[in-house]
Amino acid sequence: MTATIAPAGVQITGLRKSYGSNEVLKGIDLTVNPGQVVCLIGPSGSGKSTLLRCINLLEQPNGGTIHVAGFDATDEDVDVDAMRAHVGMVFQQFNLFPHLTVLQNCTVAQEKVLKRSRAEAEAVARKHLSAVGLGSFQSRYPVELSGGQQQRVAIARALSMDPKLMLFDEPTSALDPETVGDVLAIMRGLAQDGMTMVVVTHEMAFAREVADHVVFMDRGVVVEQGHPDQVIGNPKEPRTQDFLRRVLDPTHVEVSRDTASVRTIENS
């Protein structure tokens, strides 16, 4: 069954996901239009990564519907492999094959899933490795690379599959602060090129600059969503305001002593 939306879009309605008695997604509705960048923000444990993993069925939803890349992902007869061929995903921990070179990491799925010849797969991989600044690193192994370089390889690997949609699950959270900007610059370039993207991130400056739409989640529900100038710049919901105050002003500390509440602000 195909979706009624454009192939590169995502339409989620009433999405629910539970682990035993713990319901981590409580009826999520979300629309991602083709060419749009949507950033999911919120505290740890709010369900952001679970939502992202449900989109390409790394997690099986317990309820609701997901249409992605022209497929009804929640149709029991959906061809999961065919759907995933159109959806690239970049994780926090890179997930590169340690026994394969950089080039091989970017060609193995092309050959096995897309059935490309080795020569064609290598040509595509070299193009994307060059685009992320790693054209001269093709013969190296992941252990020989920095965290930022490994993440850029992971992005090149995903792009080598010619995805219609890219999913990023906190791609900079495991990186040294000095390398975060390199990865964000690549993602910014993808957005400018019109790639449809859903990004779980704590990088508020990136979300405000690049996102077309920001979704704030907490405890498995969407608390607030809209343009970044609204959600990040002028949030309406108290829970969103509290979260952003803590994220954007991390030196703000509230300490409770007995029944008195003492608030201190440390100047950096």
Q: Does residue 64 form part of some domain?
A: no
**Span 44-64, mean pLDDT?**
94
For tokens 């993207």, the residue is 197
Tens of pLDDT along 181-201? 899 999 999 999 999 999 999
CATH (domain of 157) = 3.40.50.300
More confident residue, 175 or 144: 144
Give the chain's domain count.
1
**Span 39-60, mean pLDDT?**
94
Tens of pLDDT along 220-268? 999 999 999 999 999 999 999 999 998 887 665 555 444 444 444 444 3
Residue 219, classified by CB atoms within 10 Å of its CB into exposed (0-12), middle (13-18) or buried (19+), is middle
Sheet holding 22-32, edge to edge: 22-32, 10-19, 63-68, 71-72
Tens of pLDDT along 89-110? 999 888 899 999 999 999 999 9
For tokens 């040509």, the residue is 123
The pLDDT, as a whole number, for residue 3 is 39
Q: Does residue 261 form part of some domain?
A: no
Q: What angle do CA 74, 77, 80 make, to 5 degrees?
A: 70
Q: Which one, of 193, 223, 224, 222, lies nearest residue 210 by Cα?
A: 193
Q: Does residue 161 form part of some domain?
A: yes
Q: Does residue 2 form part of some domain?
A: no
In the chain, DSSP finds a helix count (H) and a strand count (E) of 9, 12
The Cα-based distances of 63 to 15, 66, 73 in angstroms read 6, 10, 12
Q: Does residue 6 form part of some domain?
A: no
Q: Does residue 111 form part of some domain?
A: yes
Q: Does residue 158 form part of some domain?
A: yes
Sheet holding 221-226, edge to edge: 87-90, 165-169, 196-200, 37-41, 213-218, 221-226
The pLDDT, as a whole number, for residue 201 is 94
Host domain of residue 227: 34-47+82-248
